[in-house]
Amino acid sequence: MSRGAASRRTRALLAGGLLAFAAAVPARAQTPLGTPAGFEMTRSVQQSLKRLQELWLQWLGAALQDNPARESETLRSMQATARQLGFQRLPDLALGASARALQSAAEGDFTRARRALDAAEALDPGRPRIAFEAATVARRQGSGLRAAGAAGRGFVRLLAGHRYRAPVSARIQLWMLLVLLTAAALFVAVEALTKGSAAYGDLHRWLAARMSEGAAHALALALLLGPAALPGGPVWLVLIWSVVLWGYGSRAERVALGLVWLVLGLAPVGAAAIEEKLALAQSPPMRALDEFEAGELTGSLFTDLQVLRGALPDDPAVTELIADVHRTLGQWDIARSLYRQVLAQEGDVAAALLNLGADSFRKGDFAAANAYFQRATGAGPYAAAAWYNLSQSYSETYQFEDSRQSLARARELDGERVDGWMQTPNPERVLTFNGGLSRRHEIAERLHAAWTSSGDESAAAPGPWLRRQAPIAATLAALAALMLHLARRGYGYSDPAQWLPGRSNRIARWVRALVPALGQAETGEGLAAAANLLLLAALATLPTLAWLGGDFSDAAPLRAATATLAAAGGLLYLGLRVRSELGAPVRT
């Protein structure tokens, strides 16, 4: 199943499912009320989901009526209902509450806005977006210090949170590659400005010896500028000019042009790999795994799980994951059937055996429970848990000596964890595990393999052309530059016009101050020019961090932060350059 098809299926399921916005719910809040066709739900689970919707509407009503006591009561009921379903967080409702806070702040009711923000934090603790919206509320209230503190808290959550670290890291890597590509293009442009006239003159004279003057000018222009009309014109221009200019540069400039070819050849490959990995991580199936692992009950969870089942319909790891979801919801009959499918496909899977044993223990069938737990006691990460569960099961049937021996065996394997299990209240007595989540790497690899084998080009970004042709084009450019240099050694190179460094007028000094790479290129300081352009490229492209890599729910504050940093950095850079250049004595 292709990634594009998966996305279309997601939209179709969302449109046709039972999920809907309540009339009073802000546009940004979904309520996790229904499930798409194909995800089986018992009546009690459906009633609990319906109860969540009713409680959400009650909370909104209490907020509109300015009834804090009723708000707190319904908030606690929502949290209790979510826990009954096996989940701890309600992100969609939290975002709805924070949206309500923004609306109240816009109306000037900051007391109500703060209560809504507190409710959002209770429904989904630690969400960066809630902190950012708290900063917006504080800013509208006129409290700059509190706004800065809330924004800082949001960025700390964004950078420190396990869920956000990978996408933030991917965006930073993509930005660094963009900086390298931009600096490479700028370096070739600077070289063309300082040495292009000499290159054009040499090419024109060589052509004029073989054709008319006008035709020589036309052909020279076509050869040097014509590639801009091709698909990917800027890339071809950079490559063509890097080949033509290589022989005109100093040793440092030739090294810098070699680095340009290296960047042009490898950066697209790196970007393709990063974006492909990021696209997989942000796909509906992997998003569902993240939400389930975090205990988040969202409006898209069951739809995304259906996408996963559609992509890998017979995969035992996916079957185990879906069984874990049903068990978490309390749908043991459905979970039991799925766990048995996993055992039939893969033999003794420890987590599935433990969960089946827990099901038998729950029903009072201790003989069956003991059998499952004993099968799970083999070596592996769940062995200590199997012996611990076995000790609990023996205790229920008054086999106290066997219970003590099993507990001792569990302690031998992992005493620290056993002590933790014993000290943690557990009304079920025995342990259950989400074994499907522990197999997320298997699921990710199989999803990637399924999308790759389907030939879905949308799964590979930025595309096959860059992956296959960029390294070849860069290698050919390097070879062409070397061959051209060897072929024309006997003809020599014209000297570029030194129009900037030797001039002492104020305009030239301003140009050197603002674009130092021009002067450095004229004096052959290729690596220094490249370093300056690298810094300028980093400042110019810093705001792109907010959109590189696709959708980013916290893009607005990131846009503001990166734009501010880029502007401050640019002003500081220009100030230092102007002071350094214009404060120096005038050249004579």
With residue 5 as reference, give the H or E element that holds it.
helix 3-16
Distance of CA 193 to the CA centre of its chain: 39
Identify the pLDDT of residue 202: 84
- The arithmetic mean of pLDDT across residues 481-494, rounded, is 82
Alpha helices in 454-554, H assignment, sequence order: 464-487, 506-514, 516-522, 526-541
Give how far Cα 333 sits from Cα of 33, 87, 118, 121, 355, Å. Answer: 22, 19, 38, 35, 12
CB 461 within 8 A of CB 381: no
Distance between alpha carbon 579 and the CA centroid of its chain, in Å?
40
Cβ-contact 447, 285 below 8 angstroms = yes
Class of domain 3-165: mainly alpha
CB 97 within 8 A of CB 129: no
Q: Bigger pLDDT: 255 or 545? A: 255
Lookup: tokens for 240: 């063509």
Rounded distance between C-alpha atoms, residue 584 and residue 507, angstroms: 14
Mean pLDDT for the chain? 84
Return the minimum-mean-pLDDT range out of 2-11, 191-200, 442-451, 500-509: 2-11
Which pLDDT value is given to residue 101? 94
- HSE, side-chain direction, 13 A CA sphere, residue 142: 2
Among residues 87, 79, 97, 92, the alpha carbon closest in space to that of 134 is found at 97
How many helices (H) and strands (E) are present in the chain, helices listed first? 25, 0
pLDDT at 308 over 60: yes
Provide, rounded to the nearest whole percent, the portion of the chain with pLDDT above 70.
Answer: 86
Above 60 in pLDDT, residue 566?
Answer: yes
The two tokens of residue 276 are 């492909």
Q: CB-hemisphere CA count at 13 Å for 286?
A: 20
Q: Where are the alpha helices (DSSP H) in 161-250?
A: 162-208, 213-225, 233-245
Contact 79, 119 (CB under 8 A): no
DSSP single-letter state for residue 255: H
Phi-psi region of 575 (alpha: psi -120 to 50; beta: other; left: phi over 0): alpha
The pLDDT tens digits of the residues spanning 207-247 come to 888 898 889 889 988 988 888 887 777 888 899 999 989 88
CA nearest to 421, candidates 436, 411, 435:
411
* Amino acid 473: pLDDT: 85
478: which residues sit within 8 A by CB, 6+ positions away?
Answer: 258, 261
Q: What pLDDT sits at residue 258?
A: 92
Question: How many Å apart are CA 97 and CA 59, to the nearest integer?
Answer: 9
Alpha-helix residue ranges (DSSP H) falling in 65-127? 68-84, 91-106, 110-123
Could you tell me how far CA 440 lies from the centroid of its own chain?
A: 17
Predicted local confidence at residue 226, as pLDDT: 85
The confidence score (pLDDT) of residue 21 equals 28
CB 420 within 8 A of CB 384: no
Q: How far is CA 574 from the centre of its chain?
A: 33
Q: Output 517 or 284, whichever has higher pLDDT.
A: 284
How high is the pLDDT of residue 503? 52
430, amino acid identity: V
pLDDT of residue 301: 92
pLDDT (0 to 100) of residue 455: 56
Helix (H, G, I), strand (E, B) or coil at 183: helix
pLDDT bracket for residue 144 (50, 70, 90): confident
Give yes or no for a contact between 473 and 263, defined as CB atoms under 8 angstroms apart.
no
| CA–CA dist 408, 405 (Å, integer) | 5
Distances (CA, A) of 406 to 35, 403, 580: 42, 5, 77
Q: How far apart are CA 110 and CA 101, in angstroms?
A: 8
Alpha-carbon distance of 13 to 429, in angstroms, equals: 38
442 vs 510, residue with greater confidence: 442
Query: Is the omega angle on the peptide bond into residue 128 within 30 degrees of 0, that is, cis?
Result: no
Reported as a single tens digit per residue, the pLDDT across 323-355 is 999 999 999 999 999 999 999 999 889 999 999
CA 136, CA 117: separation in Å to the nearest integer? 11
Q: What angle do CA 376, 382, 387 make, to 5 degrees?
A: 60
449-481 burial, b at 16+ Cβ within 10 Å, e below that, comes to: ebbeeeebeebbbeeeebbebbbebbeebbebb
Predicted pLDDT of residue 248: 87
Question: What pLDDT is attached to residue 504?
Answer: 57
> Quick check: helix, strand or coil at residue 223?
helix
Residue 228: enclosing H or E segment and its boundaries?
Answer: none
**Looking at residues 177-185, what average pLDDT do you find?**
94
pLDDT value at residue 37: 52
Strand, helix or coil for residue 364: coil
Q: Where are the domains of the chain?
A: 3-165, 166-278+461-582, 314-453
Rounded-to-integer distance, Cα 258 and Cα 398, Å: 78
CB 74 within 8 A of CB 59: yes
Measured at the alpha carbon of residue 266, what is the angle toward residues 263 and 270, in degrees to the nearest 5? 120
User: pLDDT tens digit string along 63-116?
Assistant: 989 899 999 999 999 999 999 999 999 999 999 999 999 999 999 999 999 999
| The domain over range 314-453 is classified in CATH as 1.25.40.10 | yes
Distances (CA, A) of 99 to 123, 436, 511: 13, 34, 49
